[in-house]
Amino acid sequence: MTSIRWLLLVAVLVAAPTVVCAAEPTYPPGSRIGLVPPEGMVTSKSFFGFEDADSNVAIIMVSFPPEAYAELEKTISADALKRQNVALEKREALTLSTGKAFLVVGRLTAETTKVRKWILVASTPQLTALVTVQVPDAAKPRYPDAAVRGALTTLAVRTTVPVEEQLSLLPFQVAELAGFRVAGVLPGRALMLTDATAEQAGKDPVAAGLESHMYVSIGAGGPQQASERETFAREAFATVSNLKEVHITTSESLRLANQQAHQIIAEARDATGATPLTVVQWLRFGGGGFLQMVGISRTEAWKDAYPRFRSVRDGIEAK
């Protein structure tokens, strides 16, 4: 009896289903879109997505406003793909955990290389996700269709990207936000701060654009001679968009963080010409490049905004 009971117990254990925990989606730093990448792919340092550089395989993820879904649904057609040398093989509707989606599969011939191309467009209440996958034929044994399709169906969207994660993508450190909200980050290049809430920006972008805001960007080059800095600063200031009737009131050299710098303060109006604005630009030179910091507020709010702009400015250091 003991032997029979033991054999029955072994049979039950062998037959019992194995519980496997599903892998959690991976979000590339700064991206609200994530998924579970196929085995062998890692987070890219060059774009939002994943890659296997040795196999020339890439998953690239881009986000658009929610309303872009309908437009992409119409414009990603067989004719449009053909103009990009992509032959359409299949198009199908999907339902993902994030909402409705559609998947397009085709073949691209780039010179002598044949590539399997996947395009997933997914609709979510927060954004439209566009995910493209390129797999050369030589890499297909490592990344078969089932693996690619399985990865795409794990698409996930997070509500926000942690501020610390966004700031980590910048080539400079930001020690003080002075009460501003991070409105956007261009990895490796620029930061936008604002007093407008995300809800305001979504409902009325024009009104949100009139709230006090500031952007910081880094550029290569710059004037070699001190006598050239003012001209350079004025040319940089001329690139600030959505300003009318600009009148520069102050243009002077100064030092910031022990580096040569230039300050411009101007009066202007918004793009409609209806709202008086005050604008400050600081350029800080050094290290073969320059840091541009621009703060804009309604003139009536300038007294409160200017000290905050300075706090942000004084908290920025090179990495």
- pLDDT above 70 covers a percentage of the chain that reads 93
Cβ partners under 8 Å of residue 261, min gap 6 = 253, 254, 255, 282, 283, 284, 285
Per-residue confidence (pLDDT) for residue 187, from 0 to 100: 85
Kindly state the average pLDDT of the residues 22-31: 88
Can you give the pTM of this predicted structure?
0.72
pLDDT band at 19; cut points 50, 70, 90: very low
Q: Where are the domains of the chain?
A: 23-157, 163-318
Is the per-residue pLDDT at 17 higher than 80? Answer: no
Q: State pLDDT tens for residues 77-124.
A: 999 999 888 999 999 999 999 999 999 999 987 777 899 999 999 999
pLDDT band at 27; cut points 50, 70, 90: very high
Is the per-residue pLDDT at 209 higher than 80? Answer: yes
Q: Do domains 23-157 and 163-318 have the same CATH topology?
A: yes
Q: State pLDDT tens for residues 227-263.
A: 999 999 999 999 999 999 999 999 999 999 889 999 9
Q: State pLDDT tens for residues 41-51.
A: 999 988 899 99
Per-residue confidence (pLDDT) for residue 121, from 0 to 100: 97
The mean predicted confidence, pLDDT, of the chain is 89
As assigned by CATH, the class of the 163-318 domain is: alpha beta
Per-residue confidence (pLDDT) for residue 186, from 0 to 100: 87
Comparing C-alpha atoms, which of 152, 156, 135 is closest to residue 144?
135
Per-residue confidence (pLDDT) for residue 313, from 0 to 100: 97
CATH architecture of 23-157: 3-Layer(aba) Sandwich (3.40)
Per-residue confidence (pLDDT) for residue 15, from 0 to 100: 39
pLDDT band at 6; cut points 50, 70, 90: very low
Per-residue confidence (pLDDT) for residue 201, from 0 to 100: 76
Is the per-residue pLDDT at 11 higher than 50? Answer: no
